Amino acid sequence: MSVTGRALATTLVLCGLGAAACGGTTGGADPGQDRVPVPAAATTAQPATGEATGLAAGAASGSAPTPTAARKPLSGKIVVIDPGHNGQNYRHPAEINKQVDVLTQRKACDTTGTATANGYSEAAFTWDVSQRLDKILKSRGAKVVLTRANNNGWGPCITQRAAIGNKAKANAAISVHADGSGPANHGFHVIIPKKIGGPVDPVVKDSEKLGVDVRNALKRGTDLSYSTYIGKAALDYRSDLGGLNLSTVPKIFVECGNMKNPTEAAKFQQAAFRQKIALSLANGLQQYLTH
pLDDT in tens, 43-72: 333 333 332 323 333 333 344 444 444 689
Residue 136 is classified by DSSP as H
pLDDT of residue 27: 34
| Average pLDDT, rounded, for the chain | 83
Percent of the chain whose predicted confidence (pLDDT) is above 70: 76
Q: Which of 51, 208, 255, 264 is the catalytic position?
A: 255
**pLDDT of 234-276, one tens digit each?**
999 999 999 999 999 999 999 999 999 999 999 999 999 999 9
Please, which pLDDT band fits residue 32 given cuts at 50, 70 and 90?
A: very low
Whether residue 152 has pLDDT greater than 50: yes
pLDDT in tens, 84-112: 999 999 999 999 999 999 999 999 999 99
- Write out the E strands in the chain: 78-83, 99-101, 106-108, 143-146, 172-179, 189-193, 235-238, 251-258
d(CA 15, CA 21): 10
- pLDDT of the residue at 130: 98
Residue 63: predicted pLDDT: 41
What does each C-alpha distance from 289 to 39, 99, 140, 257, 286 come to in angstroms? 13, 34, 12, 24, 5
CA dihedral 276, 282, 283, 285 (to 10 degrees): 150
Please state, in angstroms and rounded to a whole number, the distance separating the CA atoms of residues 25 and 126. Answer: 27
Provide the pLDDT for residue 131.
Answer: 98
Q: Specify the pLDDT at position 71.
A: 82
Number of other residues whose CB lies within 10 A of the CB of residue 248? 19
Is-catalytic flag, 255?
yes
The pLDDT value recorded for residue 290 is 97
**CA distance linking residue 240 with residue 235, whole number of Å:** 15
